[in-house]
Structure 1
Amino acid sequence: MTQPNQQLRIIAQPKALYRERYDSEQYRTGNPVQRYLRAEDNHLDLKYPTIEILREWRDATQPQYIRVASVTVPNDKEPIVCVHPYPLGTDDPSVKTDPTNNALYFPITNADFQSGRKRY
């Protein structure tokens, strides 16, 4: 389990802004075409948001997850953080979903612990 004084280190930040969807980006059923989180341009050329995973975080007694949620960013005009209205989704069956909080829980695998990175 992460100690309170250990901060999560983000290696590749998610993009801060995404453009609106156009009508042409709808399936014939009217549902929007799925989009994927992408990383900001970075010196490692990572395409997806990526965090550092420390080996000492491994706990064999329980599964580990990274929670991903889309929220508003507080600023001078609006200091309150709100859950973003656009829903998040994934095709990955190993990811747990929390629609109420617009959150996804990506499992941290042995391969993630070995590489020291988790991308989502």
Structure 2
Amino acid sequence: MLIGAVSKQTGLSQKAIRLYEQQGLIRPQRIGRYRHFSAADIDLLLLIREARALGIPLQRLKAAIRYQNQQPDWSTLRTFLLQFRGEVEAEVMRQQQRLQQLDHCLSSISDCPLLPAEKI
């Protein structure tokens, strides 16, 4: 499949697809001047699009994408995504703790007898 069709199928611009190739994230086959994308390339582009929407930096994706026999190593990508999920969960926990601290602080202010009621 050529880049125009891949762009339509993935919703990525041709410029983005070329950038991902330049960064080493995808490796389409070259025949003459044209890039030919396989089904695996398209699957990887869709994964990259979703990962970018989740805020995963390109450099981290690049470090996670490995190839075996010209095909993406999906197990390595799965491991990376599970690790990233753990990082997101840890961040959610930190934010929940911050909310609890804020609630405690607000509760303390509300219960303070020294503050006039109209200031609260």
Task: Give the TM-score normalised by structure 1.
Answer: 0.22
Higher helix share: 2
Higher RCO structure (Cα 8 Å, ≥6 apart): 1
**Who wins on radius of gyration, i.e. which is larger?**
2
TM-score of the superposition, structure 2-length normalised? 0.22
